[in-house]
């Protein structure tokens, strides 16, 4: 499987959809989904199924990120400051 390369890609780029990972790494979508399922079962990543609409057409995907990772706050002023 390609779990190591997918995990490294997620660490570098944060939360992504399965087809974005497949396109960037050159791994087939089927292999990416199998690796994401394995990583999710082991508790390394957090994943959920999402439906997005492109021009009214539903598009099913898997969104995932490293488990327990909270991205840093964006630079600039925050509300209430």
Domains recognised in the chain with CATH numbers = 3-66 (1.10.10.10)
18 phi, psi to nearest 5 deg: -60, -40
| Secondary structure class of 52 (helix, strand, coil) | strand
Q: What is the mean pLDDT of residues 37-45?
A: 93
pTM across the whole model:
0.77
The answer to whether 52 and 72 have CB atoms below 8 angstroms apart is no
pLDDT, residue 78, reads 74
| Sheet strands side by side (includes 16-17) | 16-17, 57-66, 45-54
Q: Is the pLDDT assigned to residue 43 strictly greater than 80?
A: yes
pLDDT, residue 81, reads 59
pLDDT tens-digit readout, 61-78: 999 999 886 767 778 887
Helix (H) or strand (E) holding 39: helix 29-41
pLDDT tens-digit readout, 2-32: 899 999 999 899 899 999 999 999 999 999 9
């Amino acid at each position: 499987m390609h779990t190591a390369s997918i995990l490294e890609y997620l660490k570098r780029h944060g939360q992504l959809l399965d087809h974005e990972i497949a396109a960037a790494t050159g791994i087939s979508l089927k292999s990416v989904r199998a690796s994401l399922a394995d990583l999710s079962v082991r508790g390394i990543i957090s994943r959920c199924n999402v439906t997005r609409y492109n021009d009214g057409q539903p598009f099913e995907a898997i969104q995932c990120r490293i488990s327990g990772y909270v991205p840093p706050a964006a630079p600039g002023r925050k509300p209430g400051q």
